Amino acid sequence: MKWLGILGLVALSECLVMIPLTKMKTMRETLREKSLLTNFLERNTGNRSQNRAYYPKMTFHPLRNYLDLAYVGNISIGTPPQQFKVLFDTGSGDLWVPSIYCYSRPCRTHKLYNPHTSTTFRLWGQPVDLIYGSGRIIGFLSYDTVRIGKLIDMGQPFVLSKAQYGMEHAPFDGILGLGYPSLATQGTTPIFDTLKRRSLIPQAVFAFYLSSRKENGSVLMLGGVDHRYHKGKLQWIPVSQTHYWQITMNRVTVNGVAFGCSRGCQAIVDTGTSFLVGPSRVVTALRRLIGARLVDNEYTVSCSYVPRLPTIIFSINGNNYPVPPQAYIRKSLRGICLSSLAGGTEYLSRSETWILGDVFLRLYFSVYDRRNNRVGLAPAV
């Protein structure tokens, strides 16, 4: 069972905020995104040809920001390639996509993989049951060629869904896990480990730059780090448990007062979770402090009051990482200001645990170093 993933634990404690179908990509948007493959690095950070000169073997993979709730990139599976939109998720370990054998309602709204049209498809057949914070995938294992940009991974194990529960309106077809191998289905090798083992990437490292409120500009780096995406020096934090990208946190404070984690706690760095997630009792106290009110299963605050709300400070390995109210309060399409704080981590671990999701990772460029089992953080540009 994997509790993390798309929107993390939000569904365990409150109504899940899903993305409306009207925000799914049109054909024009799809074509525009294809052009991103050649020009996305030209925005604010220089020309892509310069990146190729400095980082000739590192792969830059563009991601699309959907309403600050999910970051999605394109991959392809099979020969000839079948393209899918996937969530690159540090909180899980498996790659899965919907298949033509799936007749669940969520599969009807997404691209389906057809094994009969791929000359490189091989059936494994082992049944798989994946549980995420906001859905469940039942399927079976297979092998095929997976392409991430110019990276070609032949014979990669992946899951084909036969039934899906939840994620019907998600802006992605499947999920590509970037967690440790212990998070993946037993007997399989996650795609990052395969890329590393086959020397398809120069270093056992990847990094995320997640843009804020912009559809384009976010990027996943595989095999290296482009330091022009962050300010100052990367601060390295040891992984405390090689399962999730889990680290030790010193404390959480608001206005100088401890809000949980008073004696230290654990934090999971998770690109597949939209919000900041903590113990329900602590999050309830934080909501009370900021004056959040429950309206239609969502916690709202007055938009005019947001600039006066306090900053939440996460202290990690001797460094402070402030999260201001403009980061943990988001404005909906209806113009309502909503809290991006969620409770529920008590279902994940007996010890106090937080999930540092996209709310945190838009502020801090993050690097995941498998060779040295550490996470690097620095303010994003």
Shared fold status for 10-226 and 235-379: yes
Mean pLDDT of the chain: 87
Kindly report which listed range (36-40, 136-140, 273-277) carries the lowest average pLDDT score: 36-40
Active site residue 173: no
> What's the token pair of residue 302?
């007055």
Instruction: Tell me what pLDDT residue 261 has.
Output: 93
This prediction has a pTM of 0.86
Active site residue 270: yes
User: 72-83, pLDDT tens digit by residue?
Assistant: 999 999 999 999
Beta bridge partners, 238, equal 374
pLDDT surpasses 90 at 111:
yes
Within 8 A by CB and 6+ apart from 31, the residues are none
- Catalytic residue from among 68, 144, 173, 270: 270
> What's the token pair of residue 329?
């309060």
Tell me the CATH number for domain 10-226.
2.40.70.10
- Catalytic residue from among 68, 89, 94, 173: 89
User: 346-368, pLDDT tens digit by residue?
Assistant: 998 889 999 999 999 999 999 99
CATH superfamily of 235-379: Acid Proteases (2.40.70.10)
User: 290-341, pLDDT tens digit by residue?
Assistant: 999 999 889 999 999 999 999 999 999 999 999 999 999 999 888 899 999 9
* Domain layout of the chain by residue ranges: 10-226, 235-379
